[in-house]
Amino acid sequence: MSDTRLSSVVQLAQTLIQRESITPEDANCQSLMNKRLSNIGFNIEEHFFVDTLNTWARKGQTSPHFCFAGHTDVVPVGDEKAWHYPPFSGVVKDEMLHGRGAADMKGSLAAMIIATEQFIKKYPDHKGSISFLVTSDEEGPFINGTTKVVDLLEARGEKIDMCLVGEPSSRNELGDVVKNGRRGSLTAHLTIKGKQGHVAYPHLAINPIHKVAPFISRLTEEVWDAGNDYFPATSLQISNIKGGTGAGNVIPADAYVQFNFRFSTEVSADELKARVHHLLSQYELDYDIEWILNGLPFLTEPGPLLDVTLAAIKDVTGVESTPETSGGTSDGRFIAQTGCKVIELGPINATIHQVNECVSTTDLDNLALIYERILEKLLT
């Protein structure tokens, strides 16, 4: 149960945290949100794809069309004994709300709902449209969530003009960082083929680990681009290397290397693939490679959405916010590919995915005020 002495934002966040929605489970979080949205005039669509519940809720049919996007699923809690408070209790202590999802991102969802309720109460005849795109598959494989809803909207010609994703973007204080883009992510699964044999007779075998080692060294030294005004230079990281049978006297038949690019708008995924294949050919490696494109880079340049967001943060908190494109991927990448302008704004991210995840109750209250101010600036 929520504590009625708390603000409406914190009460709702607390209630959502108390629902154990470990990805891809939703645990009725969306039904709670949808009931509140329905009560203020939203048309609710629930779409279930395979194992994932998604919501598309919209009020209005005209432009500008502003969308709040987020996810109800959370990552596993880890060692529950290491938590100061039970991870799904939603305890408030010393003005901090504790629990899995407090910052990532049930606090943001609560702020979105309260902000929208307050805005519509003040401006029942606002211009344009407001929508919510909510999934329970952001922390998981992300194949049955936002991307499927976007495909559905595209198929019926329903366009979002501007979108705010509630990911925890802030670094040291609420609103100090707004994500106005994200790097692309491209993963390679590389298998180098050799010939198994006895280590005492290397002339009768081909050691794939020896063959791939110089290539790995070259790969990590390569300069892929220099970045630009909005993005840092493209980076590559080796994430996994596997080889060998476990026996000390056997040359393995193959070796496996996994690596990932986080790439800027200065280079395309196809260009990165081509350059890797060129390097592989230079080292005369016998290989198979599988590429996984996790997301393309996107950028929302200075303009109405970003300008309004920075102004709203300044109005509520006095903070001069900095737009950045750092960090990992988010579901914003799927929405941005439709031509929609996308930003990310949410609480401080210091404890996300950790034990003892928590968020300031004051920050949640202010986040709701910022969201409400954005709606006022865009839709009145």
Q: For each of the domains in the chain, give its residue range(s) and CATH number, in order of start.
A: 8-182+297-379 (3.40.630.10), 184-295 (3.30.70.360)
Answer yes or no: is 376 a known binding residue: no
| Selected catalytic residue, list 26, 117, 138, 331 | 138
Answer yes or no: is 139 a known binding residue: yes
Does the annotation count 138 as an active-site position? yes
Is 4 a residue whose pLDDT tops 80?
Answer: no
Is 312 a residue whose pLDDT tops 90?
Answer: yes
Q: Write out pLDDT tens, residues 43-62.
A: 999 999 999 999 999 999 99
Answer yes or no: is 288 a known binding residue: no
Is 122 a residue whose pLDDT tops 90?
Answer: yes
Q: What is the pLDDT of residue 182?
A: 94
Question: Encoding tokens for residue 116?
Answer: 């929208």
Q: What is the pLDDT of residue 327?
A: 84
Is 84 a residue whose pLDDT tops 70?
Answer: yes
* Cα-based angle 102, 325, 319 (whole degrees, multiple of 5): 65
| Selected catalytic residue, list 73, 117, 137, 254 | 73
Q: What is the pLDDT of residue 326?
A: 87
Spatial CA neighbour of 197 closest among 210, 212, 183: 210
Question: pTM of the predicted model, to two decimals?
Answer: 0.90
Axis-axis angle for helices 8-17, 107-122 (nearest 10): 140
Q: pLDDT band for 123, please (50, 70, 90 cuts).
A: very high
Q: What is the pLDDT of residue 141?
A: 87
Does the annotation count 376 as an active-site position? no
Answer yes or no: is 307 a known binding residue: no
DSSP category for residue 46:
E
Q: What is the pLDDT of residue 2?
A: 56
Answer yes or no: is 198 a known binding residue: no
